[in-house]
Structure 1
Amino acid sequence: MEHYTVDQVADLLGLHVKTVRGYIRDGRLPAVRIGKQYRIAKDDLAAFTGLPAEPPASPRHAEATSIVQIDGIDRAAMDRVSTMVLGALSAERSGLRVEFAYDERRRQLKVVVLGGLEETAQVLRIVDALVRP
């Protein structure tokens, strides 16, 4: 059986935590005390509100996977691009994953970026600025 904390019930009902605790103390909202905290059963909350209790929706999350292929790039330029991109990423914790694959024979660099949309866009702007003629 699913249980909620007092904080979760307050968020679900749009009430202050003290109000929910008051309902529990008055016996209007059944709850079980576990240690120093109360837990409210999903069914008891539904009976109290007259509505089915649903947990708050989790925020949406979007990620992008981008592969940038740069042709005609020599080893020195590839080193510069990878150093600048990794340097920009080390300045802040972005949660991005960036990988570089260089084919020296073809003079081709592939940059693979995985992460949040805005962070990925920033890396793509950096790469664009570094490879423009």
Structure 2
Amino acid sequence: MEQYTVEQVAGLLGLHVKTVRKYVRDGRLPAVRIGKQYRIAKADLAAFTGLPAAAPARPRHAEVSSIVQVDGIARADLDRVSTMVTGSLAGRPHGLSVQFVYDEEREHLKIIVLGGLEESAQVLRIIDALVRD
């Protein structure tokens, strides 16, 4: 729970420190006394000013976009890689998108991986193991 000192509240509201202390002593602004100082909760300050309390911060979320390029891969090896990667994703929620683009004339494969960091890293490790064979 975020708390402010009387001095911080005075600065935020553009008031004198003595005015804020008077509001606290009069009971108009709820506060907790810790030692010789008052602490005002963020929610109490929001209620006092009539402003809504800030919404809780959303947890951070990061995603990755990766393109893996594999040259000199035969069609049979493409089928094996795509089957193994797709099979590793089956049956569990993962939030990943994996696409395969193959140019048969040049034996050129691109694998596009979109999703969360850890899930993408797992797919990239699987791809690495399969194309090294």
Task: Give the TM-score normalised by structure 1.
Answer: 0.63
Give 5+ residue unaligned stretches, structure 2. 4-27, 29-42
Alignment partner, residue 81 of structure 2 = 81
Alignment map for 1:1-80 (pairs within 5 Å):
46-48=46-48, 53-80=53-80
Q: Which has the larger radius of gyration?
A: 2
Q: Find the aligned partners of 1:96 and 1:47 in 2 and give their Cα distance.
A: 42
Whole-Å separation in 1 of the counterparts to 2:80 and 2:2 = 51
CA distance 1:56–1:83, shift in 2 (3 Å): same
How many residue pairs match? The answer is 95
The residue type equivalent to 1:94 in the other structure is H
Structure 2: how far apart are the matches of 1:92 and 1:44? 44
Residue 131 of structure 1: CA displacement? 0.6
Paired residues of 1:78 and 1:109 also in contact (CA < 8 A) = yes
Unaligned 5+ runs, structure 1: 1-10, 14-27, 29-42
Q: TM-score, normalised by structure 2?
A: 0.63
Moved over 2 A (4+): 47-52
| CA–CA distance in structure 2, aligned partners of residues 111 and 125 of structure 1 | 13
**In the aligned structure 2, how far is the partner of 1:76 from the partner of 1:110?**
15
Q: Using the alignment, how far apart are the partners of 1:62 and 1:70 within structure 2?
A: 26
Identity of aligned residues (%): 67
